[in-house]
Amino acid sequence: MDNNLFFNDLQQTEVKEQVTKLLKRKEPKPLWREYVEVILISFVAAILLRLFVVSAYRVDSGSMENALFEGDYIFVNKLAYSYTEPAMGDIIIFKFPLNPTRDYIKRIIALPGQTVEVIDKVVYVDNRLAEIFTNVKYDDPKIMAAQLSMRDNFGPVQVPEDQYFVMGDNRDDSQDSRFWGFLPKENIKGKAVFVYWSWTPDESAPKSGFPYIQVPFEYGYYFLTNFPSSTRWERLFTVL
């Protein structure tokens, strides 16, 4: 009986020693493999964030001046309205109702059920003076009659259910709900959060065209030589 116990203990000890040797023999991962794994994980994480959480957009018009300028690059929170409703004053990215392949950026002025009216450029919501946002601007001193344009005199109209009334902060130069109607809720893609980069538009910048092989080099040279002067440093990380 004692001999059997002795042999069992001996066998268990030998097995443990063999396992320990095998574990010690396991070679560490090569450094290049660790780098590849980190890069792949980061790439997948970036794709998931891009698809479901945040998106980056470039502002390509002046319709939101002075809140946003052409050449601003912004982060948009795609989950902003997953659990809350859009609020008056939010700057949003949305699919243009008349052409869903294009994205627009505007500010929410009125919510579903509210009544909007513009009288001589002044905006009223529910017969009260609407909130005047800091960055709103008017460049044209002329007042256009409603018979000529809906820019300065519009409404009153009531916003339908599940739709919104949006306007650009550059009130005299913005194609918005005054001209193309209400914005359906399902068209909203997210809420603008902050400006992460800003580049002054330049007509002399390289243009894509034949021969295409030159374009990356031209862009690279242009970026390096214009980086300090063309970057709007004061715009970086501007909260919207």
Helix, coil or strand: residue 162: coil
Say whether 106 is catalytic: yes
Please indicate, yes or no, whether residues 44 and 73 belong to a single structural domain of this protein. Answer: no
Please indicate, yes or no, whether residues 25 and 139 belong to a single structural domain of this protein. Answer: no
Strands (E), 84-230: 91-96, 99-110, 115-119, 122-125, 128-129, 154-158, 163-167, 183-184, 188-198
CA 50 to chain centre: 10
Please indicate, yes or no, whether residues 195 and 227 belong to a single structural domain of this protein. Answer: yes
Please indicate, yes or no, whether residues 204 and 222 belong to a single structural domain of this protein. Answer: yes
Please indicate, yes or no, whether residues 43 and 67 belong to a single structural domain of this protein. Answer: no
Q: Number of folded domains in the chain?
A: 2
Say whether 63 is catalytic: yes
For residue 171, which of 201, 129, 194, 143 has the smallest C-alpha distance?
Answer: 143
Please indicate, yes or no, whether residues 31 and 134 belong to a single structural domain of this protein. Answer: no
**DSSP letter, residue 186:** G
pTM: 0.76
Instruction: Confirm if 139 and 173 have CB atoms less than 8 A apart.
Output: yes
Locus of tokens 């009986």? 1
**Per-residue pLDDT tens listing for the chain (240 residues):** 444 544 455 455 555 566 566 555 556 666 666 656 566 655 565 555 555 556 889 999 999 999 999 999 999 999 999 889 999 999 999 999 999 999 999 999 999 999 999 999 999 999 999 998 989 999 999 999 988 899 999 989 999 999 999 999 999 999 999 999 999 999 999 999 999 999 898 777 666 656 555 566 777 777 788 788 889 999 999 999
Q: Indicate which CATH number applies to the domain containing 164.
A: 2.10.109.10
Query: Residue 144 to residues 124, 133, 153, 169: CA-CA distances in angstroms?
Result: 17, 22, 7, 18
Please indicate, yes or no, whether residues 45 and 59 belong to a single structural domain of this protein. Answer: no
Active-site residue (options: 106, 177, 191, 198): 106
Please indicate, yes or no, whether residues 61 and 149 belong to a single structural domain of this protein. Answer: yes
Residues 29-79: tens digit of each pLDDT: 666 666 565 666 555 655 555 555 568 899 999 999 999 999 999 999 999
Residue 19 structural domain: 2-49
Please indicate, yes or no, whether residues 134 and 27 belong to a single structural domain of this protein. Answer: no
Helix, coil or strand: residue 3: helix
Residue 203 has a pLDDT of 76
Instruction: Confirm if 60 and 70 have CB atoms less than 8 A apart.
Output: yes
| Cβ contacts of 31 within 8 Å, gap of 6 or more | none
Active-site residue (options: 21, 42, 55, 63): 63
Please indicate, yes or no, whether residues 80 and 120 belong to a single structural domain of this protein. Answer: yes
Count, in order, helices (H) and strands (E) of the chain.
4, 12
195-229 as b/e: b if 16+ CB within 10 A? bebbbeeeeeebeeeeeeeeeeeeeeeeeeeeeee
Please indicate, yes or no, whether residues 44 and 70 belong to a single structural domain of this protein. Answer: no
Please indicate, yes or no, whether residues 125 and 85 belong to a single structural domain of this protein. Answer: yes
